[in-house]
Structure 1
Amino acid sequence: MGDTSPQLRAIPVTFTVGKHDDRGEYLLHLRDYSPGQIWEPGMWSLLGGGREPQDATLEDTVRRELAEEADLDLADLSPFATEYASHDDGTTVPIAVYAGRWNGDPRELRLTEGVMLAWFAPDDLHRLRIADTTSALVRRHAAGLPPIRSGPAPEPAPAPAPAPAPAEHRPPSPHGTVPHIIGVHLYLERPDGTVLLGLRHPDSAFAPSTWHVLAGHCEQENAIDCLIREAREEAGLRIERRDVELVHVVHHIGQPRNPPRMALFFRARTWGGEPVLREPDKCTQWKFWDPAALPDDLVPYTRLAITKIRNGEPYSETGWPA
């Protein structure tokens, strides 16, 4: 969706709502975690973006954004509502909401922004990290739709038509099923046994002024490619896929409303370069630490993972209720 914050764009912001399918589910977009750069970072939202000078109409904006963000082309779009969003500086931005219908597998779309696309029923929105206004908008749209048929209409006949086969429709998700965020972590150990840690920036949204291993969230990529990219972008390290091995997984959860996470810790058996500060707005210092004398201000699940890795244990959990 790019940077559409009102202080940077004095133009209407256009979202599409729902692209609901024949099951009455809505296509939602998990946004990148980029505080200060995009609205609602790390939250589920609706595809869309800001109007550009070449857009003759707001519908042109919607169609361009769908094509740019997800290579998606809808046959029919119709205006649904106009909402207004207020920024901290008092700026009010109109949001033209369009509705469309699409049936497909979001995993097959070419997503260029954000983390993922997924279908959700309105009754499942409470499980997500989603703005109240977005949730209310989807529910309001769903309330105006006709009831969803459970299958194709039966052919007229003297006798009642048999119920449609369940195999024709995707079964509902098990109760309590939620998406889990995947994070990759680099366990970089020198021959002397010391381990690389970075001191996070004081303004960091996660663990400010706290030591942590080099880490990042998977985008539209596999976990090892993500690790290699993050190591290059954050510290200038060159790592080859053949030199990477999975050494530990932490299944953890923070605050109750936060999504669960799978923290994958990979060891690089060898690498090129020495750690440099490539993203000083995220990390202010790289340092190799003796695992027996780790800093006190260390991310708790990172401390746990380092201990487990050194003990040869592949899995741990933290933050879950007993």
Structure 2
Amino acid sequence: MRTLLHLALIVVLAASCAWAQARSKRLILKDGSFQPATKWEIKGDRVRYYSAERYMWEELPTSLVDWPATEQYEKDAASGKVRGNDPADAPDPSLDAPEPEPPTVAPGLQLPDASGIYLLERYNKQPRLVEVVQNGSEINQQRAKNILRSVINPLPSGPTQTVELRGVKAEVQSHTLTPEFFVNLNFDPNDERAGEPLPPGTDRYRIIRLQTKPKEKVRIVSNLKISLLGKVKEQRDLVPTRSEQLDKHWTRIVPLQPLEPGEYALVEMVSDKQMNLYVWDFGVDPKAPPNRQAWSPKQVESTETGTKDNPFLNTRKKD
């Protein structure tokens, strides 16, 4: 009897999944691919849809959706020009379409076909593209300082902690006061470390000015003030930035004003108030030596009829 109940439950679940697939629609994207969805809603500059494949809510920028093609597909499905809304009924156009080339960020400089965060600067009046490596920060509980504060000020107050990076200078130094950042990272909202979804209009990546402490040989990312009730208040020196979605992979981030020479970090906000402790640190120093791993436009060999080579990224040789 129990086996029959299990079989019946499996049949019901399979039927419900097939019903959801049959009633799915399509969000057709500008690159030719599509996302099967049972429903969607637009919130600000993002569209929130319920995936017919993964059975969960997902989001993507509205600028990536080909709305005329999406509406035309819905009309064709309603008039019977397509057999149904099941994604298996029609071939995926993205299978035949070639993958678009990564964006070109400067003459002769193209972003690599790989994930990561890259900094665009100028050295000796030439554009340079440098990969910024993620660096793990640590929390310093400031035990000695908190004990001293309790002696001087006997009034009830919570402890102070700091989020720190080791070393006083980042490996990557921008010679430009207005560097540009290009981000291509996959964010998994189902990761237990992801925290709460960010409110609409909130930038996921931000620039923070770091406080350098040469004596301790650390850089302060943020200060944490913990009340006696356990409430955490974080203080950061945020730099105003602007984000631009270049395509479905790449995001461009630029500061709204020139950065003063010093140490900085590009941080990921996993929620409106929580920050990933692994950051991408960099510095701004026009007098710094050239970055060791930097891509620059290749010098094209000229001929009588034109050129032999096309510009592409080439890694600068190590000194």
TM-score normalised by length of structure 2 = 0.27
Q: Which has the larger radius of gyration?
A: 2
TM-score normalised by length of structure 1 = 0.27
